[in-house]
């Protein structure tokens, strides 16, 4: 028997055996579009850390929450739709959605039911599953979204303007691709202030979507580990060919250092 024919037979045998051992593999399709931005990639605690959103709040947004009523317990549906609810991990698109929603949580304690209603409203108007992660939300969706809270925030124009600016400040930290879907996120690395440097980026196509120093691919976790081990900021900057300010923001992203 020729070698190439033997190899072909072996390959078919391996494929058959794999199909027998793992008959369900070809039937599972969490991400049929093949877009890495929609794959489950971030645990809830990890996403909470990157976004600076309390874990309990983020968990309510992605898993829903039970609440008591006179008629008995009821359940709020999740505000953010995960790619695989049973797995419970966020995709990059989910990360961006939570980043945007963080604007209404920090200054305006909007009830979860109202947030869910507002997201549903924008979804229907845009005909999109993830409108908060789309570029057109910045131009056409913010006013629609905020209008659903007008009786809860403030009757004054100042109150409406304040929440619009908070949302727009977060939208400025998102870059979109040619199709209009979010492609990169520059998370806030400091507790206060919307005008923060964009030294740290989350890009699903770089380092498996972990935070890195912008334009380098150097993960913030590596720098933070070396800093905790005793390396100085200046030494890290020299070793990785970065500015000290970049290293400081990278370490701050991981360790929540004071600004």
Give the residue carrying structure tokens 């400081």.
Answer: 248
From first to last of the 259 residues of the chain, give the pLDDT tens digit. 444 444 444 444 333 333 343 333 333 345 556 899 999 999 999 999 999 999 999 999 999 887 777 787 887 889 999 999 999 999 999 999 999 998 876 666 677 777 888 888 888 888 888 999 998 888 778 887 877 766 555 544 555 667 788 888 999 999 999 999 999 999 999 877 778 999 999 999 999 999 999 999 999 999 999 999 999 999 999 999 999 999 999 999 998 755 4
User: Which one, of 54, 65, 62, lies nearest residue 111 by Cα?
Assistant: 65
Domains along the chain with CATH numbers: 186-259 (1.10.10.10)
List the structure tokens of 4. 């190439």
Residue 161 and residue 209 in contact, taking contact as beta carbons nearer than 8 Å: no
**Angle formed at CA 163 by CA 156 and CA 91, multiple of 5 degrees:** 155
* DSSP-assigned beta bridge partners for residue 174: 185
For 96-141, give the secondary structure using H, E and C. HHHHHHHHHHHHCCCCHHHHHHHHHHHHHHHCCCCHHHECHHHHHH
Predicted TM-score (pTM) of the model is: 0.80
What is d(CA 236, CA 230) in angstroms, rounded to the nearest whole number? Answer: 10
Classify the phi-psi angles of 151: left when phi > 0, otherwise alpha if psi is within -120 to 50, otherwise beta.
alpha
């Amino acid at each position: 028997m020729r070698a190439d024919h033997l190899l072909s037979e072996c390959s078919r045998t391996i494929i058959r055996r794999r199909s027998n051992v793992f008959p369900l593999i070809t039937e599972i399709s969490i991400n049929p579009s093949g877009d890495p931005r929609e794959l489950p990639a971030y645990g809830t605690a990890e996403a909470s850390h990157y976004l600076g959103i309390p874990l309990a709040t983020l968990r309510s947004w992605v898993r829903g929450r039970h609440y008591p009523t006179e008629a008995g317990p009821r359940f709020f549906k999740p505000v953010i739709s995960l790619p695989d609810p049973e797995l419970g991990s966020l995709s990059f698109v989910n990360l961006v959605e939570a980043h945007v929603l963080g604007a209404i949580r920090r200054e305006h304690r909007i009830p979860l039911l109202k947030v869910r209603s507002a997201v549903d409203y924008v979804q229907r108007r845009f005909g999109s599953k993830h409108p908060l992660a789309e570029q057109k939300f910045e131009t056409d969706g913010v006013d629609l979204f905020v209008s659903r809270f007008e009786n809860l925030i403030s009757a004054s124009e100042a109150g409406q303007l304040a929440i619009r600016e908070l949302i727009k400040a977060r939208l400025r930290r998102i870059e979109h691709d040619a199709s209009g879907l979010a492609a990169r996120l520059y998370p806030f690395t400091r507790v206060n202030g919307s005008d923060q440097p964009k030294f740290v980026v989350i890009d699903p196509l770089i380092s498996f979507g972990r935070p890195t120093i912008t334009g380098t691919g150097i993960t913030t976790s590596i720098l933070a580990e070396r800093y905790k081990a005793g390396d100085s900021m200046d030494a890290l900057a020299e070793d990785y060919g970065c500015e000290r300010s970049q290293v400081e923001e990278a370490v701050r992203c991981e360790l929540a250092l004071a600004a």
